[in-house]
Structure formats: C-alpha cells, structure tokens
Amino acid sequence: MEQPAISDYGFLSDCRSGALVSRDGSVDWWCPDRFDGSAVFARLLGPDAGHFQLGPVGAGGAGHRVERAYHPDTLVLRTVHHTPEGSVAVTDALAAEVGARAHELGMNSPGVLIRVVEGLSGRVRMGLDFVPRPEHGLLTPYLYDQPDGSVLATAGPVALVLGARGLPLRAGRDSVRQEFEVSAGQVVGFHLAYGGTYGEPPVRVDPLTTLAETIQAWEAYRETHTYPGRYPELVRPSATVLTGLTYARSGAVAAALTTSLPEKLGGDRNYDYRYSWLRDFAMTMRALWVAACPHEASRLFAWVTRSIGRIGDEPVPVVFGLEGERDLTEHVCPHMPGYGGSLPVRVGNDAWRQRQLDVPGEVLAAVWRLRDYLGDTFDEELREMVLGLTEQVACTWHLPDRGMWETREDERHYLSSKVLCWTAMDRAVLLADRLGAQADPRRWAVIRDEIRDTVLREGWNERIGAFTGAFGSAELDASALFLPITHFLPATDPRMRSTIAVVERELGTEDGLVRRWNTDPAGFLLCSFWLVECLAMTGQRRRAAELFERVAGHANDVGLFSEQVDLGTGAQLGNTPQALSHIGLINAAWRLTDPNWY
C-alpha cells in the first residue's frame, strides 16, 4: 500500500484527543486518552501499527473520486466517495459529551470515534478493516464477539468496543474485516469506544444521535466567537483547528497532533510535537484573542502559571506536557519504520532540558497583552511568576542558548533569544506598577537598554545589510522577521526595511514561502506569515495581501497546514496539523486588518 501524503489527512478532535483520517477512509492515528498519550492506531508511522479503514471496496481505482469538507465551524468531516456503482458519504467525528455546549466542549469527552455511512446513489460495496494495535503498535489485542453484535478488543491497559447500528460484527483473530453494501438512503453508523482494561469501561452510544449532538456542540462553540477582520473564511477554520488542538481539561494548546512526521523525507529531524510550548505562548495568545475569545486565552494563561510553578535558579522549560508535566524524556520506538522511512520515531521531547532564554519574554509579552483583563493589582501567584521570570532574565540574558529552532548542536548567542530577553525586561518595566514593592523598574530599564544596545551592535551585519541569526554570524535566519512583531524595532526602521528585503530575496520563494535559513530545503509556514506581517507594517499592504493569499493556498483541501512545504514538490512536511502555522495565518490576517496592532 502506498503511504498517503501528509496533506491527505483530515483532523478530528474531541478537545481531549485527536485522530487523522485519510482521503480513502483510513484512521491512521488516534491517541484516545489524550493528545500526548499512546496511540491505538499508528499506521501513519508504520504499516503494522494499527488502523481503522472504512470505504468503498477497491477505492482508488478507475472512476473513484473523493470530495470532502468539514461541517461549517466544526471538526466533523464528511467524505463523499463517487464510484462507478454509486456514491456514498462517510462522516467522521470524535464524540462530544451528550449535552455539551460552547465552552463545555471537551471537558468530559467520552472517548468515542463515530463513523456514519450514508448511501447517496446506486449501491456501493463497503469494506471495514479494524486493526487495533495499542501502545504505538507494540500490542496485539485479543478480540471477542459480544452478545449485542459488537466486538471487544483488549490488550494491556486498553479496552476498545467496536459496534455498528444494524450490522452485526464478527471478530477475527486480531482484527475485524467485513464487507457490506449500502444503497441510496441507507445509513449505517459505527462507534468505537475507548476505555481502560482496569478502569472505566468503554461508553456505549448511539452513533447517529451522538453525531448530531457533536455537530451541535461545535456549532454552539463557534457561535460564541466573532471575528471582525479580513479573510474570515480562512481565520474561522484556523481558529477551529486551534480549538481542536486545545486540551480542554487544562487549557493547554498542543503544538501539533502528531509525533515524528519529518521535516525532510528520509531525514532525522523528526520530533514529538504533542506538547505545549511556552515559546509559542504570546503568538498563541494573540491568535486566540483575535479569533476566539478571552475564555480560551485566560484558561491558557492559568495553565502557564500553574505549570511554571515557583521559579528557582534552573531555567524555565520551553515545553510542558498538557497537564503541566516537566519531564518529557525522549525515547525512540525502534519497532516503527517511520513516515516515508524517516527515522527515528520519537516519543517525548528532550527540548525540555534545553536552556531557552526566549521563554520569559514570550510569557511576559502575554501578560502585557492581558494586563487589562488581569487587573490593576496582580494576585500573589501571578506577581511571583512575573518577578521571578524578570530576575531570571536579568541574570542570564548574556548567556548562550539553543535558540528558537531548538538546535541540538552547541549553544550560541541567538538574535531572537536576545530580542525576547529585551521583550521580557521591557514588559516588566511597563508592568512594574502592578508588581508591588519588589518591582525594580529603574534597574530593569538599565538592563533592557543594555540588551538593546548589544543586539543592535552584535546582531547587525553591515556587509549583508541585515540582522542575522546569531551574533557575529553571516547566516541569514527568518527569525529576524520577529523583531518588529515584538516591537523591538519598527518595521519602517532602515535596518529593518533592509532586513525584510534581504530575507525576502534570499530566503523567499516564488510561491510566497520563506525558508528559515539558506540550507533549509522547505518553506516554513510561520515565517512566511511573519513576512506578510512585516510587509503590512511597512505600508506595503497590497503586496502583503497577495503574499498572504499565496501562502494560505498551501493548505490542504480541508484547510489544514502542517509545519512546512517542500519547495520542489509542494508537499506538506512535518507534524500536522501544526498550531503555529494556523496561528501565523490568524495573526497575519489581523495585521492586514490593522497594521498598527500591538
């Protein structure tokens, strides 16, 4: 079987877990307990690691055509298969709790995958292939027929029940493989429920009723959100994706649904992105504030303060688990061949051990953005966090680190890290009147100005005519586009104008993509949207809008972005759906609406 392209997958979410379903109807990724948990279907990373196929027999042959789309403002995916024998629709969703509405979405998700087959015309023979393989493919379950016509699969800590409305199922040795026919007007609903072998049993639901409830839950959620800016037809779906990547129990936003999808096919830059990065925090907050509502932003903020805890001498980690876990020790899955043979397959992310000097700047920028919502006087927990982060930057800003792109090579004095150290000190000075007697804005201002002078002196390369990626380096880095977004320098400053032009000329491509550096083989979507923002801030709004539309055109057919785009083939690369890519779209759209947005 030929492996589907990354862009072939649609995204399902219940705001606790997420699944990927291919155009031909195969669920090839699902971690049912939580986003960063263990997968029961992982064929995305290995052909024997489990899947749940549901589609026309012989799909992909002559005369087979697929159309798919989300129900508006939901992550309920409807795929229509047109075959020579007739047409059939398969609607897929991860179930919401019965009665859940608006901000209740995901708080008590039942852990049920719903798949509803509807005959549209003719008579189509359908194939079901249910091959569960818990623990990322390490376990082969026992399967048992149940009196009600469902099948129980159990192995290790996992129990799964697959049932169908009006269609008895029969267990094979380690899978369920059946065929059935669907005529026009006929509906067959499947539900796959997850539970624990030793805990709560899987929940039995009616698939049709639950599907209708899930659609209503998503629609009610989006009705509470408004977006008054440009490109609402792109912003609203991206906001829905961000909601789908939000772990509702804590408010944390997962960077992506997947692990180990490669930045380059056959390469080894394959990392686990199913966690929440503090570096992304300020950008995420901006996007949530623009396209969602203060409720999501405030819950995310509360998660950050609890996750960081009391600040000591050790650097604050850049990444946490979705409930605030620190230790994300990375290990390799040697039994999995990886997507497209890209090894290793990793679970966990050792970036939590790295020194990342930009983290406090992202957090304090978010505090500043939320200052009016947080009140004139901060509570003790918030005050201690802001003071602790500020003093940590004051003591460490001069040190090298691993940089925004989390290199696993030697530490360096990265430009973006120093700029975000300046951001931390600048926002602390502005927030000083809310921080009590321990605030020291005069000393902080001196340090802030020292950082600024150092960046302007050491980060600028006169020969190239641009700010470069690290002090003393001649290597361009698209992270320099972040300077005007943080308000370190206005985009109209001559040095910034020159940097923007050089980055666009040397790192940009004809189709609007921007690479992170000269040797990067792929366009990085977030950086591409940063260029849109920079052009808008320099007054080039028409060019910025044209670029925005070209970059947005790299989404797949249901509006999803991964992390990068291959420059030769246009194929999506990296973990998907990627929160930062959708965040970049939302923030760029609002910048085109209001170029002076702070």
155, β-bridge pairs: 158
CA distance 3 to 42: 12
Q: How far is CA 563 from the centre of its chain?
A: 9
- Taking alpha carbons only, the member of 94, 139, 597 closest to residue 333 is 139
DSSP-based three-state secondary structure for 388: helix
User: Which ranges constitute the DSSP H helices of 253-408?
Assistant: 281-291, 294-308, 359-369, 371-374, 380-396
The 10s digit of each residue's pLDDT in 157-210 is 999 999 999 899 999 999 999 999 999 999 999 999 999 999 888 998 999 999
Contacts of 204 (CB under 8 A, 6+ apart): 150, 161, 163, 191, 193
Give the tokens for residue 400: 């090298």
| Answer CATH for 6-223 from 2.30.30.90, 3.50.50.60, 2.70.98.10, 3.60.15.10 | 2.70.98.10
CA atoms within 13 A on the CB side of 50: 23
How far is Cα 551 from Cα 523, in angstroms, rounded to an integer? 10
- Give the model's pLDDT for residue 503: 98
Cα distance between residue 448 and residue 431, in whole Å: 14
Q: Which of 363, 359, 459 is nearest to 414 (CA)?
A: 459
* Total count of residues recorded for the chain: 598
User: What pairs with residue 123 in β-bridges?
Assistant: 183
- Burial of residue 64 (CB within 10 Å: 0-12, 13-18, 19+) is middle
Half-sphere exposure of 298 (CA within 13 A, CB side): 9
The neighbour count for residue 450, using CB atoms within 10 Å, is 14
d(CA 444, CA 510): 44
**Are 514 and 503 a contacting pair, CB within 8 Å?**
yes
Model-level pTM? Answer: 0.97
Residue 325, C-beta contacts closer than 8 angstroms, at least 6 positions apart: none
C-alpha angle 288-294-296 in degrees, rounded to nearest 5? 60
Report d(CA 331, CA 190) in Å as an integer: 35
- Give the residue ranges of the chain where pLDDT is below 50: none
Cα–Cα distance for residue pair 71/69, rounded to 1 Å = 7
Domain ranges, ordered by start, for the chain: 6-223, 232-593
Task: Answer yes or no: CATH 3.40.190.10 is held by domain 232-593.
Answer: no
Question: What per-residue confidence (pLDDT) applies to 293?
Answer: 60
Alpha carbon distance 402, 350 (integer Å): 12
Bridge partners (DSSP) of residue 29 are 20
Cβ(490)–Cβ(484) under 8 Å? yes
Tokens of 331: 């290990």
pLDDT of residue 369: 87
Burial (CB count within 10 angstroms: exposed 0-12, middle 13-18, buried 19+), residue 7: buried
Question: How many Cα neighbours within 13 Å face the side chain of 439?
Answer: 19
d(C-alpha 461, C-alpha 481), whole Å: 15
Residue owning tokens 């200052």? 371
In contact, 252 and 278? CB cutoff 8 Å = no
What is the separation of C-alpha 229 from the centre of its chain, rounded to a whole number of angstroms?
23
| DSSP state, residue 543 | H
**What are the start-end ranges of the E strands in 75-111?**
77-83, 86-94
> What residues contact 296, with CB distance under 8 A and at least 6 apart?
243, 246, 251, 288
Distance between CA atoms of residues 165 and 210, nearest Å: 12
Amino acid at 482: F
Q: Quick one: DSSP state of residue 173?
A: S
Distance from the Cα of residue 484 to its chain's centroid: 24
